[in-house]
């Protein structure tokens, strides 16, 4: 049978990238919309601007005897589902920046620049501009440049209106000044810095309890929070980068622990050298009401809460005893609520010999 010859008189729909779900023009409009936000994060070391094939950064290495680059990659996780449900996209970028730059400063590195990646089902320029606005604001808070990134439409791979975020940040520290577990000594003091809420961890459990089990509406006012549930869950993650760098400059801080997934004990354990254990007192702070609500509404036991959530502690500094008063003064001046959480001591007997056994949380939280 001879091949069918198309009839030139038949009006056939032409197929394009746009009909397949990808709108290149919308992408260009999105770049134009968020370009001013990115430009506000520029540092003197940035060469060129947004729109090139690569972001260019000329670091000033003269003040470093032996410069070491530090890099961190992370995302925001299922917190983005709250932003999507509330159609509020201007703060989720702050969470993204916090998750990467606050990992960098654990070793004392100054964040230099960040690049983001936004995977989105359908590109709406105004929505992407709001996401990038939050990322740019976070970069300004951290003192780093938003050097570039990528926004990619994934029609057919994501639910309608869905998106996900990730970012990589690069920082620098002098090898001689680098903070690390080996610097920690017996008798050092733990100073806690308060979290601004759930930050960006444990949202799968929080959503399951509050939205599915308790069936609480996101737009419903919650007396304990003084705002709606959605506003509580979208509270931006506190960015500690500049606070930690100020602390490192003005005290003999040994290291930091960024309290993210895994909770206080597991993250603090990561910065303890062999042979040492940390003791933290629960009685030194009261977790925010959202933690108590998740525990009670979901009947989540304390062990599960403490290995899933930060429980109100976002960052911990490990300091020599003589520097504690100075550290608290520095943080207070920078409007970071902080307190003495506990101490580091030598392990005795079988202490600290197995994972998860090197940080002891003692006592009970008041009013929890």
Between 22-26, 121-125, 273-277, the lowest mean confidence (pLDDT) is in 22-26
Model confidence at 220: pLDDT above 90:
yes
pLDDT of 10: 46
Angstrom CA distances, 356 to 182, 194, 283, stand at 19, 23, 21
Residue count of the chain, please give it: 368
Asked if 292 and 302 count as a contact pair (C-beta separation under 8 A), the reply is no
Cα–Cα dist 122/111, whole Å: 31
Residue 21 has pLDDT above 80, yes or no: no
- pLDDT tens digit string along 194-218? 999 999 999 999 999 999 999 999 9
Tell me, what's the pLDDT at 228?
A: 98
- Which residue has 């990619």 as its token pair? 152
What number of other Cβ atoms are within 10 A of residue 11's Cβ?
Answer: 6
- Encode pLDDT of 241-254 as tens digits: 999 999 999 999 99
User: 224 CB contacts (<8 Å, ≥6 apart)?
Assistant: 289, 290, 292, 293
Give me the helices (H) in 59-194, please.
Answer: 79-86, 92-104, 125-142
pLDDT recorded at residue 5: 52
pTM, two decimals, is 0.88
CA distances 365 to 186, 283, 285, 296, 360, Å, are 25, 5, 7, 15, 14
Q: Tell me, what DSSP letter sits at residue 177?
A: G
**Which candidate, 149, 111, 166, 135, places its Cα nearest to that of 40?**
135
| pLDDT band per the 50, 70, 90 thresholds, residue 48 | confident
Q: How confident is the model at residue 42 (pLDDT cuts 50, 70, 90)?
A: confident
HSE toward the beta carbon, residue 211, CA cutoff 13 A: 16
Which residues, listed in sequence order, are joined to residue 278 by a DSSP beta bridge?
Answer: 344, 359
What are the structural domains, with CATH classification, of the chain? 24-48+65-176 (3.30.1330.10), 181-362 (3.90.650.10)
């Amino acid at each position: 049978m001879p091949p069918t010859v198309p009839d030139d008189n038949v009006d056939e729909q032409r197929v394009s990238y746009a009909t397949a779900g990808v709108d290149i023009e919308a992408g260009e409009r999105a770049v134009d919309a968020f370009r001013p936000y990115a430009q506000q994060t520029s540092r003197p070391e940035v060469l060129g601007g947004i729109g090139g094939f690569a972001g260019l950064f000329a670091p000033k290495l003269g003040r470093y005897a032996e410069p070491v680059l530090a890099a961190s990659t992370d995302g925001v996780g299922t917190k983005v589902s709250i932003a999507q449900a509330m159609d509020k996209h201007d703060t989720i970028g702050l969470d993204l920046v916090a998750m990467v730059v606050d990992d960098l400063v654990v070793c004392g590195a100054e964040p230099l620049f960040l690049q983001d990646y936004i995977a989105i089902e359908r590109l709406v320029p105004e929505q992407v501009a709001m996401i990038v606005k939050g990322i740019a604001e976070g970069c300004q808070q951290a003192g780093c440049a938003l050097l570039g990134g990528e926004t990619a439409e994934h029609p057919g791979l994501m639910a309608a209106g869905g998106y996900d975020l990730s970012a990589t940040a690069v920082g620098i520290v002098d090898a001689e000044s680098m903070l690390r577990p080996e610097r920690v000594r017996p008798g050092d003091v733990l100073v806690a810095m308060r979290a601004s809420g759930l930050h960006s961890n444990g949202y799968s459990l929080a959503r399951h309890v509050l939205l599915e089990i308790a069936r609480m509406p996101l737009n419903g006012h919650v007396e304990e929070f003084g705002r709606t549930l959605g506003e509580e869950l979208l509270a931006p993650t506190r960015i500690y980068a500049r606070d930690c760098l100020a602390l490192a400059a003005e005290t003999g801080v040994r290291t930091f622990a960024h309290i993210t997934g895994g909770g206080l004990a597991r993250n603090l354990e990561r910065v303890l050298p062999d042979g040492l254990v940390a003791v933290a007192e629960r009685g030194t702070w009261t977790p925010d009401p959202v933690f108590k609500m998740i525990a009670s509404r979901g009947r989540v036991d304390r062990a599960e809460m403490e290995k899933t959530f930060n429980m109100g502690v976002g960052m911990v500094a490990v300091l020599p005893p003589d520097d504690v008063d100075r550290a608290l003064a520095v943080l207070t001046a920078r409007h970071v609520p902080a307190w003495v959480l506990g101490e580091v001591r030598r392990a005795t007997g079988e202490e600290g010999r197995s994972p998860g056994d090197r940080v002891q949380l003692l006592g009970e939280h008041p009013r929890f």
